[in-house]
């Protein structure tokens, strides 16, 4: 419940930032109304199109049971165990090892894995990864992350447009722009995209530990996911996934190599912290033979 409240507060902050920058730039009631409208439209758009957007960004291709029987069987087994509808199954044409889930609810969801992850993970570790992604679907994290990505993207786009206007004399150069707040304009260009990114990444980090715990519960084998995360991080350093940064939080592990950005700018908790939590959870399950 604590994570749910934190996520709701962060989403509210993100939408509030979009409303605020519209007010600062345009000024007055008109700016406030436009900001509220932008927030509503972007959230509504994310609600209905989140799965299509994410799958298109990563060029994921749908596969049938005949085309990927092993993967399909794991997803089918875990979905039945979790008592959710069978999600769509997709493969991303990349040798980078990663995975993600998307969709606004369990009835409209998809799980996607890269070709690379299928090549390097044994079945029990792949099962842990798939269970992690199904937990995101069950918890509606896929919708939350897609909404956050879309709103953050709208904020960055708006700031970019303001930046162009400043270069070409569009903001503050005409009488009709006298309602714009100069300080607000400057803060929007310099700080709004940064603030939006920080909030979006914080939302992502609050959801990863919950999804790891859900995977452990669904498979009864938290150590398998722990091994998978360690293996995926090692390969990410060697072969990072180049993609739109706004959608990085959807992935099971940070797709860029290195830790130089620190926790504030990371879309995921550290792998070490996640592994530590998983090994603690292992004590709650019957002993297994590894």
Q: Which residues are catalytic?
A: 133
Q: Which long-range contacts (CB under 8 A, 24 or more apart) does 118-126 make?
A: 118/68, 118/71, 118/91, 119/95, 120/231, 120/235, 121/97, 121/228, 121/231, 121/232, 123/70, 123/74, 124/219, 124/221, 124/224, 125/224, 125/225, 125/227, 125/228, 125/231, 126/71, 126/74, 126/228
Distance CA 114, CA 129 (A): 12
Distance CA 96, CA 238 (A): 9
Using DSSP, state whether 286 is helix, strand or coil.
Answer: coil
The two three-digit tokens of residue 37, written as one number: 């409208």
The two three-digit tokens of residue 109, written as one number: 């969801």
Question: Which backbone phi and psi does 197 adopt, to 5 degrees?
Answer: -65, -45
Residues in the chain, overall count:
290
The two three-digit tokens of residue 121, written as one number: 């993970």
Distance CA 260, CA 264 (A): 11
For residue 108, the surrounding DSSP H or E stretch is strand 108-114
């Amino acid at each position: 419940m604590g994570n749910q409240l934190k996520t709701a507060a962060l989403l509210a902050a993100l939408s509030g930032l979009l409303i605020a920058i519209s007010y600062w730039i345009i000024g007055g009631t008109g700016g406030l109304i436009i900001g509220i409208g932008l927030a509503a439209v972007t959230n509504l758009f994310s609600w209905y199109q989140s799965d299509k957007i994410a799958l298109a960004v990563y060029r994921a291709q749908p596969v049938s049971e005949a085309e990927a029987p092993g993967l399909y069987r794991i997803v089918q087994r875990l979905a039945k165990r979790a008592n959710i509808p069978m999600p769509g199954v997709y493969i991303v044409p990349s040798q980078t090892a990663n995975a993600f889930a998307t969709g606004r609810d369990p009835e409209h969801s998809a799980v996607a894995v890269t070709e690379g992850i299928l090549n390097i993970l044994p079945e029990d570790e792949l099962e842990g990864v798939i269970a992690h992604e199904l937990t995101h679907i069950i918890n509606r994290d896929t919708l939350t992350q897609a909404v956050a990505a879309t709103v953050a993207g709208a904020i960055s786009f708006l700031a970019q447009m303001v930046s162009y206007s400043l270069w070409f004399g569009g903001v503050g150069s005409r009488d009709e722009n006298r309602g714009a707040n100069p300080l607000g304009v400057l803060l929007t260009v310099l700080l709004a995209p940064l603030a939006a990114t920080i909030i979006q990444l914080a939302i992502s980090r609050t959801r990863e530990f919950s999804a790891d715990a859900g995977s452990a519960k669904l498979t009864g084998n938290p150590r398998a996911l722990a091994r998978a995360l360690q293996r995926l991080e090692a390969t990410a350093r060697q072969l990072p996934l180049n993609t739109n940064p706004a959608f990085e939080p959807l992935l099971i592990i940070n797709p860029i190599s290195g830790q130089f950005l620190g926790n504030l700018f990371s879309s995921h908790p550290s792998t070490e912290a996640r592994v530590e939590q998983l090994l603690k959870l292992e004590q709650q399950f019957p002993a297994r033979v590894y």
